[in-house]
Structure 1
């Protein structure tokens, strides 16, 4: 596995990081070659970072913004039309701090359709972000986010506002 990760790192650096935004199809091809499950035509910014591409699923018209980071030690699924803002960090792995040896623990993350994760937000392992939910910029999401909810802060909490209807483009 370490060799596959090394090959992946170099492949992304050599074949994708330098590409202009319109070269999205090329980046999707490279991601597919490394096992990313892709439906339709999502957008992946050339400076997005994906740790383990074979643990990632990208649905139609989902978007990974500039320097978005998918630390995909566990499965990460991005739903249709969902957006992961610039420099957001989805972390699917952590350590068991109750165990003296602090073993690695992984848990999947799912971002449902039409959801939005704001710039520099941090999403913890095992979190599900519901349909049409909005995560505010710089928020730390430690628990599931209900559909159509707006959450913000550290830790992220509901703001009392809800999304009346999903964005349709």
Structure 2
């Protein structure tokens, strides 16, 4: 698991952990994405990447971002060459999310870097980064918890809930996601 956890303290439960400047940046990005990107056709990927870059997303090479993908805080996102963010995939990037080269985040997958300290009266926000290794695949509607590292070439099955790191070249599925033995992987592939 990623060890860099950040505790954002709030005085009381309803307080925002974000500065006014950060909240304005989030609001400005939401409107920019809605008016400048959501309606664009798939071939307008370069335009969407430009908008993301303008809001601080670190982009290497040429990843693909679907027009209906969702980003909470784009300046916390790193997209490497040929990474793919699918239709309605949600990068809830309260903390850093890094998507490796050639990795795919399938439609409606949800990568969540935030949780709450439920043992504290303030229930303050806790963030931890998510890293998806190169050539990894996160299936449709999978949910990835804060602090998880998905290794290079790993596969996360559709609708899985990933609560722990996934080793490189491993296939996991279920809730909570568990490794699938090699013989079952071959049987399902045919």
TM-score interval (norm. to shorter): over 0.9
Of the three residues 129, 142, 167, the one matched with 2:163 is 142
- Cross-structure match for 1:99: 120
In 1, distance between residues paired with 2:86 and 2:60? 18
- Cross-structure match for 1:166: none
> What count of residue pairs does the alignment treat as equivalent?
163
- Cross-structure match for 1:119: 140
Between the two structures, name the one with larger relative contact order (CA 8 Å, sep ≥ 6). 2
What are the Cα deviations for residues 70-100 of structure 1, in whole angstroms up to 9, with x where unaligned? 0000000000000000000000001112223
- Cross-structure match for 2:78: 57
What are the Cα deviations for residues 35-60 of structure 1, in whole angstroms up to 9, with x where unaligned? 00000000000000000000000000
Instruction: Tell whether 2:180 aligns with 1:159.
Output: yes
Of the three residues 28, 35, 49, the one matched with 1:7 is 28
TM-score by length of 1: 0.94
In 2, distance between residues paired with 1:35 and 1:105? 22
Q: Which structure 2 residues correspond to residues 13-28 of structure 1 after superposition, within 5 A?
A: 13-28=34-49
What are the Cα deviations for residues 97-144 of structure 1, in whole angstroms up to 9, with x where unaligned? 222321110000000000000000000000000010000000000000
CA RMSD of aligned residues (A): 1.1
SS of equivalent to 1:7: helix
- Cross-structure match for 1:83: 104
In 2, distance between residues paired with 1:93 and 1:161? 33
Gaps of 5+ in 2: 1-21, 186-190
In 1, distance between residues paired with 2:173 and 2:117? 26
TM-score by length of 2: 0.84
- Cross-structure match for 2:64: 43
In 2, distance between residues paired with 1:161 and 1:65? 27
Gaps of 5+ in 1: 164-169
In 1, distance between residues paired with 2:127 and 2:81? 26
Q: Which consecutive aligned stretches of 4+ in structure 1 deviate over 3 angstroms post-superposition?
A: none
Structure showing greater radius of gyration is 2
- Superposed displacement of residue 9, structure 1: 0.3
Greater share of strand: 1
